[in-house]
Structure 1
Amino acid sequence: MSSRDDLSVDELIGRCGLADLTVACGDVTRVVRSAMCTIHDPLVPMDAGGAGVLLAVGVAAADLPELVRSAEAAGFDAVVARGAAETAEQLPETGLGVLDLGATLTWSQVERLVSGILTMESNRHGGDLFDTANTTASLLGGAVTIENLDQTVLAYSTVDGQVIDEDRRRSILGRHVPTLPENDEQYAAVFASSGVVRITGVGHALDRLAIAVRLGTDVLGSMWVVDEGGLLPRDADYLLERAADLVAVQIVQNRSVSTFEREQRASLVQAVLEGRRTARPAVSRLGMPARGPFVVAALAVDFVASAGGGADVETHPRWNRLVTMVNVFVSAWQPTAGVCVLGGTIYILVPGVVATDVERVAANAAILVERAAATGIVVRAGVGSVVMSVDEISSSRREAELLATILGTEDDPSVLTALSCQSRVALWSLAQVLAEQPVVASEPISRLEAHDEQRGTDFVHTVATWFRHRMDTKRTAEALSVHPNTLRYRLGRARDISGLRDEADDLLLAWLTLRSRYDPAGSPRT
């Protein structure tokens, strides 16, 4: 596709990538000739000369056939309406595309998304950041690097014969500026200046010219030019300033495109994780296989424990940076994977053969936890079970979420997997059953709990510790720091109070009840 003029209705839907925006009927090969989205007003007649997409806000199903006829006569290329799929058989044959809008999207979201995509297509003439880096390097005679605010390398020049140093080599290989003691001072100088700054190389590093990339008062990133031996031309500052102006526009354009694409994929991933009826087509649009394997990883943020923030997700100063970091990392590690943010948890849906290597998925989750910690954000991660069908993905998501938010303890590693924590997940599930159907719980344990509550005793803890140490009197006494005879007396009193019998079935139900109600540390489960 060479320009926006070639964008068809079907391609527009593909660019949107939303499971709740689908074709109802009509000609989806029709070209969308305008970037305009028009909201239908029933009180204003539709005149000829319309173009682009008509949003049928609030139009009843019975009125939709007539609206489609009027829209085609007026010259529109597509109509978006709620309920269009259900009434498709009643709609007239038409040469425009009729799209169905699901219940999860608002009209304002659709208008912003469709208008944004069409507008970006019409404006895709700004060139590429790598082209700008190479052009600038050729003009100045020094290797160029373009970075964003997170010091991620967005583009770099590849002009033959230009000298580079080890710092630049490492930046290109890792697509990120290496952490060095002098970084903070150098970047502070660049961002504090309104023009070009000369940076003296430290150690074996070469000198550089650097400039902050700004759009108005907003700082978007920076540009760096290697200056070997001070041989750059006299007008280097002027040329670099003009290049920075162009880079600012390109960064914003690229950010808009990537933001739309990211939001589109996130919407599809959310539909899959929540097990909606649109999950199967969503998987297809994500470019994932229709059949497994799949696995879900969850990264849960403790905003109270994290530096510089409170419990409110959206106001945490490093939240957006973390989300961006996860998206960039996942796209580089596994391009077909999808990322979705729900509340204070970031979910990663991993498809294909990679999903079966749970240890590898967990290792990459651990890298993200470490990188988050370096920015002052405390993250715990969980990896669910590997599943073989789209319908089971939501269960892998629930397991990952449990491991990341509820089932972990302070003594656990930062990443837990369902494979290594099968008992915890099963007991938590059992706890839900026992909570909903208390008749299947151990009545003796319930009596002990009531006695402890009324008398201030601690028999439940004693019995739970006894079970945890495989009913070994010596080991249990040592764990409780009491004499074995004292423990025998307490266990006898517990039996008298509760009616717990030394029969296998009674002991099994008592143990299951305790494990489902209390975590390994003895605290009640929530």
Structure 2
Amino acid sequence: MTSRTPIPPEPAVALREILAFDDSGTLRLLLAPGGQDVGVRAVAVGDEGPAQPLDGCLVLVVGVPAASAGAAGPVREAARRGACGVVLRDAEGTAAAPEVLAAAKESGIALLTRAEWADWTDTAALLRSALACARAGRGEEGAAVPDGGAESLAALAAAIAEYTGGSITIEDTRFRVLAHSATGPEADGLRRSTILGGRVPDWRVAELRRSGMLRALWTSRDVIHRAADADGPERLVVAVRSGPEVLGSIWAAADGRGLSPRAVDALRRGAEAAAPHLVRHRLRESGAARRSELALRGLLYGEGDARTHAWSLGLSPDAACAVVVAERDFGAPAGDRTLDVLALQAVSYRPSVRVLRDGDRLLVLLPVDTGQEHDVLGLARELATLALSLPTGVPVRAGAGPVAATALRTRSSCEEAALIVRVLRERADRGGETGGDGEARRGGETDRHGRADRARYADAAGVGPSLDVVRVLDAVRPVWEAGSGPVHDLVRADLAAGGELVRSLAAYLEASGDVARAAARLVVHPNTLRYRLRRARERFGVDLDDPDTRLLITLAVRLTG
């Protein structure tokens, strides 16, 4: 029998190195009884199980804040299980509880807090990236890029350039250049304009989007090859990821010579080495990003001062804007990232686009120049079509709100876009088949299973009077819910019994009183439907010959689904 060689533990990294990596202000050290040279081997979440050993771990205690005396217990428990430190949630302006400080001091465990504007996902990514970056910087054997790549993104870009034989740019998800290698005399015009402008030109991003290159980049984990053409030399590109999260990309362009045979492997390893740096870049912007998110939410939902929100987003309050709402169908599988991919696509549409993720919805704020009003529906179409083409195939419906004359009126565009999505969803539930800008009526797109795309995007013109119907239904709902009478009695009693009579009345009214057509839709004999209608009159006193009664039943059926 051969004994299995134990896997050695990861080398420890001094706490001071982790704190030095955090230039975004995410972490604050409150207490370090053992000094800042205490070794950290891993990051753990405090509720991962009582049997989980925590030797050398920095533990994220997600349940209780530092200001709560109840956090003293988790601090002592983490120390008992071998942890070197704990991170608690901070509350701005609130000091840590004395009991918590005493527990850390007595246990000899480092005590840190997480900034209020950060979240636990950000904090875990920061700590793990700090560990990876510190270990990479020690020159471990087998690295595909020189040790200098761990020092800065610029050094990493230079190292990747040496191994690939090409010119390198490292970009974030908004195609801003974070670092680049030296530019040779034979560099193409696109690379020069990208570096000089600090970002990929808009026309180039639009071309990549139209060609499907961006879709492939955001969804693939492999290196993508783009052959040389009349517009530029051969290029390789790979997405930089932290787990499932896309952080940016690395591009290698041939500069007057072919790329190295080992270029693909160098790019893969370069993406791994770049991830900690791009995490730090993202966290450095987190504070501003959180404030921007609050301003965007306030502008879209009409909360707070709209003028201040607009300036915070870099928008003139007088700028014309529109909102596109993309909503994922309910019941999407756990871990589905459709909306994340759509968000990346949206921000590539135009640099001024702002995106807010709100549960199963994506809200996109689009500044609109005169003559570009059609771009709003175009973006809705693009998002709905992209969702259809993704491997998950999770349906998304997109509504294009009207152009608001100023950013201060953005809320109205957002509300209408959300109503349009609601109309599209209700039509789909009822088996409707119109929508979009006419394309869906002519057959539209199809999803990966070959099913016709039914009204997955639209503007107000695309949904017609249904938009006003939804507004009317919302307005009359309180009146209906507070009312009483024969129609109310019928609906409430029948829905409690399964809703057969309500469905029959709905089919009869939608068929404009044509019994044969309504019966066919219900898949029953016409005499069966006549019996049900007669029962409504005899049992509940509901007279379908009365126009007011028919109107009330129509509203009741729509309001109760």
Normalising to structure 1: TM-score of the pair?
0.53
Cross-structure match for 1:380:
397
> Which runs of structure 2 are paired with 1:118-157 in the superposition (5 Å)?
142-146=165-169
Following superposition, the deviation at residue 330 of structure 1 comes to: 3.3
Distance 1:391 1:268 in 2: 12
Q: Secondary structure at the match of 2:399?
A: strand
Cross-structure match for 1:161:
186
Following superposition, the deviation at residue 361 of structure 1 comes to: 1.9
> Which runs of structure 2 are paired with 1:278-297 in the superposition (5 Å)?
278-291=305-318, 293-297=320-324
Distance 1:480 1:242 in 2: 61
Distance 2:471 2:303 in 1: 22
Distance 2:504 2:158 in 1: 72
Contact in 2 for aligned 1:295/1:355 (Cα 8 Å) = no
CA pair 140-500 structure 1, distance change in 2 beyond 3 A: closer
> Which runs of structure 2 are paired with 1:142-291 in the superposition (5 Å)?
142-146=165-169, 159-161=184-186, 174-175=207-208, 222=250, 224=252, 226=254, 251=278, 254-256=281-283, 259-291=286-318
Contact in 1 for aligned 2:298/2:306 (Cα 8 Å) = yes
Q: CA RMSD in A?
A: 5.9
Cross-structure match for 1:458:
500
Distance 1:227 1:381 in 2: 42
Following superposition, the deviation at residue 505 of structure 1 comes to: 2.7
Distance 1:493 1:228 in 2: 85
Following superposition, the deviation at residue 281 of structure 1 comes to: 1.3
Which of 414, 437, 447 pairs up with 2:489?
Answer: 447
Q: Which amino acid aligns with 2:117?
A: Q
Distance 2:237 2:303 in 1: 50
Following superposition, the deviation at residue 417 of structure 1 comes to: 3.4
Distance 1:425 1:258 in 2: 39
Contact in 2 for aligned 1:434/1:441 (Cα 8 Å) = no
Cross-structure match for 1:333:
349
Cross-structure match for 2:367:
351
Contact in 1 for aligned 2:24/2:285 (Cα 8 Å) = no
| Aligned: 1:369 with 2:384 | yes
Normalising to structure 2: TM-score of the pair?
0.50
Following superposition, the deviation at residue 149 of structure 1 comes to: 9.8
| Aligned: 1:360 with 2:375 | yes
CA pair 444-423 structure 1, distance change in 2 beyond 3 A: farther
Q: Which amino acid aligns with 1:299?
A: A
CA pair 470-135 structure 1, distance change in 2 beyond 3 A: same
- Report Cα offsets for 1:378-416 as digits up to 9, x if no partner: 233233444446665334434433544664525542224
Contact in 2 for aligned 1:213/1:223 (Cα 8 Å) = no
Cross-structure match for 2:546:
503
Contact in 1 for aligned 2:356/2:364 (Cα 8 Å) = yes
Contact in 1 for aligned 2:299/2:411 (Cα 8 Å) = yes
Contact in 2 for aligned 1:381/1:416 (Cα 8 Å) = yes
Following superposition, the deviation at residue 174 of structure 1 comes to: 3.9
Q: Secondary structure at the match of 1:420?
A: helix
- Report Cα offsets for 1:170-229 as digits up to 9, x if no partner: 98874579669x999x965x79xxxxxxx99899999989999899xx997545353887
Q: Which amino acid aligns with 2:503?
A: H
> Which runs of structure 2 are paired with 1:62-141 in the superposition (5 Å)?
108-109=116-117
Q: Which amino acid aligns with 1:371?
A: L
Following superposition, the deviation at residue 466 of structure 1 comes to: 1.7
Counting aligned pairs with the same residue, the percent is 24
Contact in 2 for aligned 1:208/1:224 (Cα 8 Å) = yes
Give the total of aligned pairs. 384
CA pair 350-389 structure 1, distance change in 2 beyond 3 A: same
CA pair 246-231 structure 1, distance change in 2 beyond 3 A: closer
Cross-structure match for 2:440:
none
Distance 2:152 2:159 in 1: 11
Following superposition, the deviation at residue 258 of structure 1 comes to: 5.2
Following superposition, the deviation at residue 468 of structure 1 comes to: 0.6
Distance 1:491 1:219 in 2: 58
Q: Secondary structure at the match of 1:437?
A: helix
Contact in 1 for aligned 2:156/2:274 (Cα 8 Å) = yes
Q: Secondary structure at the match of 1:108?
A: coil
Following superposition, the deviation at residue 470 of structure 1 comes to: 1.9
Distance 2:478 2:294 in 1: 33
Larger deviation, residues 499-508 vs 251-260? 251-260
Following superposition, the deviation at residue 355 of structure 1 comes to: 10
Cross-structure match for 2:457:
415
Following superposition, the deviation at residue 513 of structure 1 comes to: 2.4
CA pair 511-241 structure 1, distance change in 2 beyond 3 A: closer
Distance 1:439 1:211 in 2: 56
Q: Which amino acid aligns with 1:351?
A: P
Contact in 1 for aligned 2:299/2:306 (Cα 8 Å) = yes
Q: Secondary structure at the match of 2:556?
A: helix
Distance 2:156 2:529 in 1: 78
Following superposition, the deviation at residue 163 of structure 1 comes to: 8.3
Following superposition, the deviation at residue 270 of structure 1 comes to: 0.7
Cross-structure match for 2:417:
400
Q: Secondary structure at the match of 1:335?
A: coil
Distance 2:27 2:529 in 1: 78
CA pair 348-213 structure 1, distance change in 2 beyond 3 A: closer
Contact in 2 for aligned 1:213/1:244 (Cα 8 Å) = yes
Q: Which amino acid aligns with 1:264?
A: R
| Aligned: 1:301 with 2:343 | no
> Which runs of structure 2 are paired with 1:36-55 in the superposition (5 Å)?
none
5+ residue gaps, structure 1, are 1-33, 42-57, 59-79, 83-105, 117-125, 165-169, 192-198, 311-315, 518-523
Contact in 2 for aligned 1:473/1:487 (Cα 8 Å) = yes
- Report Cα offsets for 1:1-30 as digits up to 9, x if no partner: xxxxxxxxxxxxxxxxxxxxxxxxxxxxxx
